[in-house]
Structure formats: C-alpha cells, structure tokens
C-alpha cells in the first residue's frame, strides 16, 4: 500500500510578527473611522497589516460618551502610543465618517510628533444613491 500524500494548505497560518521582538516600523497609515456613536483608530503598516488599534469603548468610555470629541482624542492617543515605541516617524491619515471625533482625533495625531505626509477623507459618497421606494397608492 502506498502512503497517501499529505496535503499542504494554501493559506499560511503563521503569525505576521513575533510578540517577543518588536518590529521597527518607520512609516504607516492611520485610519480614523468616526461615526456618531463611536470612534475607531487603526494604525497599519504600508501593506495594510494592523499594528495597533483603539476605540472609544476600549479607552474606557461607555454609552453616549463614546461619540464625543474627548473620547476620540483619548482613542487616538491610545492607538498612537504603542506605535511611537516601535519607531514610527511618518504616517498617512485616512479619515472616514461624519462623526464629532474627526477633528479631535486629527488634532491629537498632529500633536503626537509624527510627520504626516497627507490627510485624506475617504468617506464613502453615493453617486446616485439607493433606488427610492415606489409611490404610495391611496
């Protein structure tokens, strides 16, 4: 009897980076998603792999306070603090959403000492929107 050939998966299941030795990341992308109820700040490297993230909920805010500018400021500071230790000096900022935390998060990012190459608003805008509901017949 012949031995069956072991299949090797196409997906790689190993970690991107080891927790033991911190990676040095000179440049990254900071994504700010500001909704009316919450603010989420995600820091990625150039390839889009997440390095650090924080939200108003993980920063200790609950309920309606999660949508405030102060919560967005604390969230941005928490997300950036870890990547500053890994040596990030330059970043690009992508801001999405209509929330109150947009300006507060951007102000905190600028004050952190990271050089910003550009700031881009990537809020999705409908070209013609959804189809409206049919007319009501009485």
Q: What value does the mean pLDDT take over residues 33-51? A: 94
What are 94's strand-pairing partners?
31, 120
The mean pLDDT of 72-94, rounded to a whole number, is 92
Compute the average pLDDT of residues 90-114.
93
Q: Residue 6: its pLDDT value, please?
A: 65
Q: Does 105 have pLDDT greater than 60?
A: yes
| Distance in angstroms (rounded) separating the CA atoms of residues 43 and 76 | 10
Are 115 and 89 a contacting pair, CB within 8 Å? yes
Residue 23: pLDDT band with limits 50, 70, 90? confident
Q: What is the pLDDT of residue 12?
A: 56
Are 88 and 30 spatial neighbours (Cβ–Cβ below 8 Å)?
no
CA 65 to CA 38: how far, in whole Å?
9
Structural domains present in the chain: 25-119 (3.30.420.80)
Please give the Cα distance from 114 to 25 (Å, whole number): 12
**Which pLDDT value is given to residue 16?**
55
Please provide the average confidence, as pLDDT, over all residues in the chain: 87
88 or 18: which carries more pLDDT confidence? 88
């Amino acid at each position: 009897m012949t031995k069956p050939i072991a299949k090797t998966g196409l997906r790689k299941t190993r970690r991107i980076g080891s927790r033991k030795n911190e990676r040095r990341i000179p440049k990254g992308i900071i994504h700010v998603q500001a909704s009316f109820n919450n603010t989420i700040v995600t820091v990625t490297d150039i390839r889009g792999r997440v390095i650090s993230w924080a939200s108003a909920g993980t920063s200790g805010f609950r309920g309606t306070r999660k949508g405030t500018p102060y919560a967005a400021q604390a969230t941005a500071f928490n997300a950036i603090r870890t990547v500053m230790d890994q040596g990030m000096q330059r970043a690009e900022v992508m801001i999405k959403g209509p929330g109150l935390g947009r300006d507060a998060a951007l102000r905190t990012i600028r004050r952190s000492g990271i050089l910003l190459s550009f700031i881009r608003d990537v809020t999705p805008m409908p070209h013609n929107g959804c189809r409206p509901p049919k007319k009501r017949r009485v």
